[in-house]
Amino acid sequence: MSVASPSPSAGADPDASDEPSEAIPGLAGRRFLIISAPFGSYSRKLACVLRANGAVVRRMIFNAGDLLDWGSRDAVKFRRGGDAWPHALAGLAETYTDLVLFGEAGVYNQTVIEQAERLKASVWVIENGYFRPHWVTMERNGVNARSTLPRSADGYPAPAPREPPFQEAGTILPHHVWNLARYHTVQVAGRVLFPRYVRPYTRHALVQAGGHAWRYLKLRLPLRSPPTPM
């Protein structure tokens, strides 16, 4: 699906676009369950488009950050431990036609990927666009190393398709930083609500944030010139 709209000015919030999307045929009667999504309002925007085309959409809530990004409407809260997720997923997949993931990291996403071939529901994995800027990558059952895209140029027939109209993303890093920071701050603060949540990272998000902040400061500070020998 492409979005035909004017390009926002540099620095515009990529989550704030209210441009209409093209109709998506064949979604009436489809039931989507969003397992994970990019930080911020992406999942809500996606749900609005899918619902406008006749689909039912709900989202899994594993922690307070998910709840902040999505809200309580059409939320499926999961408060059990990670070891209970495979059984819960098998049951959920029977009642939905499509499961949506962002990336493959973490026990919740990995379980879906590992069971993708056996699940009744179709599995869609979205990722930051790695072929072209301003685009999101979406593939069935996995991305990156699990991608089913051809590995050689022979797999892509000529001529290349014409690129449809699209909306430029603009400067997105500040918005990514803000969305990520608020998500993890609320996730940590709301740990009491989801005490069995399994983090997808080997290092705590706050430790990672400190490391990125220190690296940013080092890059921004002027380099000292080495002393001149006498």
Q: Would you say residue 11 lies in a domain? A: no
Report the domain count for the chain.
1
What distance in Å separates the CA atoms of residue 116 and residue 33, rounded to the nearest whole number?
14
Digit-coded pLDDT (tens) for 192-206: 999 999 987 766 667
What is the reported pLDDT for 130?
Answer: 65
Q: Would you say residue 136 lies in a domain? A: yes
Q: Would you say residue 2 lies in a domain? A: no
Q: Would you say residue 174 lies in a domain? A: yes
What is the reported pLDDT for 10?
Answer: 41
Digit-coded pLDDT (tens) for 183-194: 999 999 999 999
Q: Cβ atoms within 10 A of the Cβ of 83, count? A: 10
Closest CA to 194 of 81, 118, 113, 111: 81
pTM: 0.78
Ranges of residues in the chain with a pLDDT under 50 are: 1-11, 18-20
What distance in Å separates the CA atoms of residue 22 and residue 49, rounded to the nearest whole number?
9
Q: Would you say residue 157 lies in a domain? A: no
Task: CATH number of the domain at 58, please.
Answer: 3.40.50.20
Which residues span the domain enclosing 53? 16-147+167-220
Q: Would you say residue 32 lies in a domain? A: yes
What is the reported pLDDT for 105?
Answer: 85
Q: Would you say residue 96 lies in a domain? A: yes
- Long-range contact set of residues 181-185: C-beta below 8 Å, sequence gap at least 24: 181/209, 182/39, 182/68, 183/39, 183/40, 183/65, 183/68, 183/69, 184/65, 184/209
Q: Would you say residue 195 lies in a domain? A: yes
